[in-house]
Amino acid sequence: MVLFPEKINGFYGAVFGGCSNLIADCNMHKASFQAKDSMFVNCGITGIDMSRSSHGTLSGSMFKNCKNLKWVKFNETNSTFEIHSSTFQNCQALTTLEPFFPTNLTRIYSNAFNGCTNLSGTAEFSVTTTASSDGAFSNTKV
């Protein structure tokens, strides 16, 4: 398991990028940090628990091409939450989002879930959510 401590300053770039042999869940617990684009790109992580994290933005391509990623658990207590471009693009094993979309979700950018071929369900957003029309859910069952 990848476990992030409560107090950490930040990660910049593809810190875990290409770690395809890192087959583990990632628990962000109460972590509050800045994570820049592509932090886990092409990584082998299997799940992400952000349920107690105060991290409110998932940067572009943060989990792109994580072929083993099956589930993501979001935090609904942050004041706002955004999923940037290509955050989960081509995460083909992704089947579970809990909750499916958090009530505090304010924006989903282009290609956020593009290529998540096993992701299915009904996307119900709050009235304050802005979804990009540029392929955010292309090649999914949503």
pLDDT tens-digit map of 17-75: 888 888 878 877 655 555 668 888 999 999 988 887 766 778 899 999 999 999 999 88
119 DSSP 8-state letter: -
Pick the residue with more confidence: 7 or 111? 111
Give me the pLDDT at residue 1, please.
63
Give me the pLDDT at residue 121, please.
85
Q: How confident is the model at residue 5 (pLDDT cuts 50, 70, 90)?
A: low
CA atoms within 13 A on the CB side of 127: 0
CA end-to-end distance (rounded Å), the chain? 29
pLDDT tens for 69-117 read 999 998 877 667 889 999 999 999 999 998 888 888 888 999 999 999 9
Give me the pLDDT at residue 87, please.
93
